[in-house]
C-alpha cells in the first residue's frame, strides 16, 4: 500500500503575470511513519523540442513525516525565460509537480500552462521578441494529469500500487500505453503504466 496519499492540490494566484512566483497549496495524508524526507519538485517544460530547456524551478524537502494530515504552500520563482527559445515563450507548455521518497518518484501532477498577452492587439500581432513583462500565465488547474508509480517504502515493497494516469476534476479518465502528456516529449509524463481502475486515484483538484 502507499504511504502518502495526496488529497488536494490548489493552484494559487492564477491567472497571474508570468513574472510572479508559482504557488501550489498541497494537502496530503501520511498513512505510515516515514524515516526520511519527501522531496517535492516543480519543473517547467521550456520546449517540446528538447529536454535541455526544462528548468527545475525549486525543490523542497519535508520530513521525516509521521502519520497524519498535512498542508503547505509550495512557492517557486518563475522560469528564466532567457533560457527558453523565443518561439516557445508564448503559447502552451507544461508544469510538473512531482514527489519522491528516497530518490523514487511516486507522484507526478502535470498541468497545461498557457502564456499569452492580455492585450488583444499583442495577441493578434505578437512582437518578434516576447515582451515578458506583458505576458500572463494561466494554469489549467481544473484539468491536471496525475500519474502514480509503485515504489518501496521503508523496506516494504509497494506492490499494491499500480502506476497510471488519470485526468481528474471534471476531465474524463484516460488509459493509454506509456505516459506521454499530450504532445510534449519524454520530459513530460513518460514511464507510466496503464491506470488501475481500483487504484489510489481519489485526488480532488481545485
Residues constituting the chain: 206
Q: State the cell numbers at 181.
A: 502528456
Task: Note the pTM of the prediction, 2 decimals.
Answer: 0.77
Please write the tens of the pLDDT for every residue from 76-104.
999 999 999 999 999 999 999 999 999 99
Q: Provide the pLDDT confidence category of residue 17 given band limits of 50, 70 and 90.
A: very high
pLDDT digits (tens, 9 = 90+) for 159-173: 444 455 544 444 333
Task: List all residues 6 or more positions away from 188 whose beta carbon is below 8 Å from its beta carbon.
Answer: 45, 94, 96, 110, 179, 180, 181, 182
Per the CB < 8 A criterion, the answer to whether 44 and 93 are in contact is yes
Quick check: 78 and 55 in contact, CB under 8 A? Answer: no
Domains and CATH numbers, the chain: 4-192 (2.60.40.1490)
Average pLDDT over residues 110-139: 96
| Structure confidence at residue 180 (pLDDT) | 35
List pLDDT tens digits, range 187-198. 343 333 222 333
The whole-angstrom separation of Cα 37 and Cα 96 is 20
Q: Which of 108, 143, 156 is nearest to 6 (CA)?
A: 108
Q: Give the chain's end-to-end CA distance (angstroms, integer).
A: 26
Among residues 129, 124, 125, 110, which one has the least CA distance to residue 183?
Answer: 110
Bridge partners of 4, per DSSP, are 30
Amino acid at each position: 500500500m502507499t504511504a502518502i496519499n495526496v488529497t488536494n492540490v490548489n493552484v494559487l494566484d492564477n491567472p497571474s503575470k508570468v513574472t510572479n512566483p508559482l504557488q501550489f497549496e498541497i494537502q496530503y495524508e501520511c498513512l505510515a511513519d516515514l524515516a526520511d524526507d519527501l522531496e517535492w519538485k516543480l519543473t517547467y517544460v521550456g520546449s517540446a523540442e528538447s529536454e535541455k530547456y526544462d528548468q527545475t524551478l525549486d525543490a523542497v524537502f519535508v520530513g521525516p513525516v509521521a502519520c497524519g494530515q498535512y498542508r503547505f504552500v509550495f512557492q517557486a520563482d518563475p522560469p528564466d525565460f532567457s533560457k527558453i527559445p523565443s518561439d516557445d515563450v508564448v503559447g502552451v507548455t507544461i508544469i510538473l509537480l512531482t514527489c519522491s521518497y528516497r530518490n523514487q518518484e511516486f507522484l507526478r501532477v502535470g498541468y497545461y500552462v498557457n502564456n499569452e498577452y492580455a492585450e488583444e492587439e499583442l495577441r493578434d500581432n505578437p512582437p518578434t521578441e516576447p515582451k515578458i513583462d506583458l505576458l500572463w500565465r494561466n494554469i489549467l488547474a481544473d484539468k491536471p494529469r496525475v500519474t502514480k508509480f509503485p515504489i518501496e517504502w521503508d523496506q516494504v515493497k509497494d506492490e499494491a500500487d499500480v502506476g497510471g494516469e488519470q485526468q481528474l476534476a471534471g476531465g474524463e479518465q484516460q488509459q493509454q500505453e506509456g505516459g506521454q502528456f499530450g504532445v510534449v516529449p519524454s520530459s513530460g509524463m513518460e514511464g507510466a503504466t496503464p491506470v488501475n481502475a481500483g487504484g489510489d486515484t481519489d485526488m480532488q483538484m481545485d
